[in-house]
Amino acid sequence: MAHMIERHRHIIDFTLATLLRRKGKNGGLLLVYTLIIFVLASVLFFTEAIRREAMLVLQESPEIIVQRTQAGRYQTVPMSWCAGIGSINGVGSAQPRLWGYHYDRTRLANYTFMVPAQDPPGAGHVDLGGAVARMLGAATGDTVAFQGHDGAPRAFTVRKVLEQESQLLTADLVLISEQDYRLFSGVPADQATDLVLQVRNPREYATIVEKITRMHHDARPILRSEILRTYDAVFSWRSGLMLVIFSAATLAFLIFAWDKATGLSAEERAEIGILKAVGWDTSDILLLKFWEGTAISLTAFLAGTILAYLHVFHTSASLFAPVLKGWSTLYPSFRLPPLLDFQQVVTLFILTVVPYTITTIVPSWRAATIDPDAVMR
């Protein structure tokens, strides 16, 4: 056993010496390999994080939203609609929602103001989303001011800063009381932004939608499935682009692996011959090449994965964002919440480290199984 450990130690020592004496070649190899893993891992992490965000958004959305349009433009909904729509058979409840966007000229940022259905802040208080709090430099108990619809600044005390699982839901959010919202936005007391309906039986959706549109011709009911389709279309398009990047990186990796697999340099072959001639067995050569491949591929894998993690979750995939994230052009920016899926990491490992190690060993195995004098000739 001690002999076996010592044998491995000697061979690993020699592997490191071998790698170091070809610094330029191995450094270049490591760089290219790390870059490929970085792109592959970034794509995997990013698509998964975006998909998760979308899922969380949809979980929160109501079954049916009722909006009002006039000449194709959204208008506020009269509160009086609640009673009528709420009385339709199959509708569990019809609740008005008050929400809207606010453009902060001084910071060139868009915020979403909303009156929450549960636990709204008291008058003169607001809850801030993480990104809004960061932008305003505000913490719980601080006072923040926003310019209302009439141009007058309105001050609020921060009740709390929202820390939620999904930043997409809360990053730009300002939660406010109904009274303050109406004063701030100018929405009259008999109007709401839209209505949200709870429907118990999904098979009744179509009937309910039909009844609503018959009741109010200017109503526009939106089903959760329609939102789902829109999200799906948006994320599919983004996934498609990611797939292109993923395919390019995979292709680069395959070319790279093929290049490794197709042969050894004359110098490498001669060295294998020398090692065999001086008493190394085929298994010793394979062990050497295994450690060589493992050292390079593991280093590249770890470096590429860590860089990809930092890129996606700490710089919000800044390299991909301009093409892939619509909201990356919005301000305040949000960060994808860190998420590391073990299965994804294992898949990436199997797809990159294993083939590389095999492609390193195969040509060496071919050379190592030939008589040493033939390899050296």
User: Which pair of tokens denotes residue 377?
Assistant: 């000739």
Element (H, E) at 11: helix 2-21
Stretch that binds another protein, among 9-17, 214-222, 232-240, 325-333 (CB under 8 A): 9-17
Q: Is 9 in the site for another protein (CB under 8 A)?
A: yes
Q: Is 22 in the site for another protein (CB under 8 A)?
A: yes
Binding letters toward another protein, positions 252-281, x by CB under 8 A? ------------------xx--xxxxxxxx
Smallest distance, another protein to C-beta of residue 370, A: 10
Contact 38, 308 (CB under 8 A): yes
Please give the span between the terminal C-alpha atoms of the chain, in angstroms, as a whole number. Answer: 36
Which residue from 147, 213, 282, 328 is in contact with another protein, where contact means CB under 8 A? Answer: 282
Q: Is 117 in the site for another protein (CB under 8 A)?
A: no
Q: Is 2 in the site for another protein (CB under 8 A)?
A: yes
Element (H, E) at 175: strand 173-176
Stretch that binds another protein, among 19-27, 57-65, 172-180, 193-201 (CB under 8 A): 19-27
Task: Give which of 55, 66, 63, 36 is closest to 219, Cα–Cα.
Answer: 66
How far are the Cα atoms of 49, 85, 118, 197, 219 from residue 88, in angstroms, in the given order?
39, 5, 24, 11, 15
C-beta closer to another protein: residue 24 or 137: 24
Q: What is the largest CA-CA distance in the chain?
A: 96
d(CA 241, CA 58) in angstroms, rounded, equals 23
Smallest distance, another protein to C-beta of residue 354, A: 26
C-beta closer to another protein: residue 22 or 97: 22
Which residues, other chains included, contact 193 with Cβ-Cβ below 8 Å and sequence gap of 6+? Answer: 76, 77, 96, 97, 98, 99, 100, 187
Q: Is 25 in the site for another protein (CB under 8 A)?
A: no
Q: Is 51 in the site for another protein (CB under 8 A)?
A: no
Q: Is 7 in the site for another protein (CB under 8 A)?
A: yes
Q: Which residues bind another protein (CB under 8 A)?
A: 2-7, 9-11, 14, 17-18, 20-22, 270-271, 274-284, 369, 371-374, 376
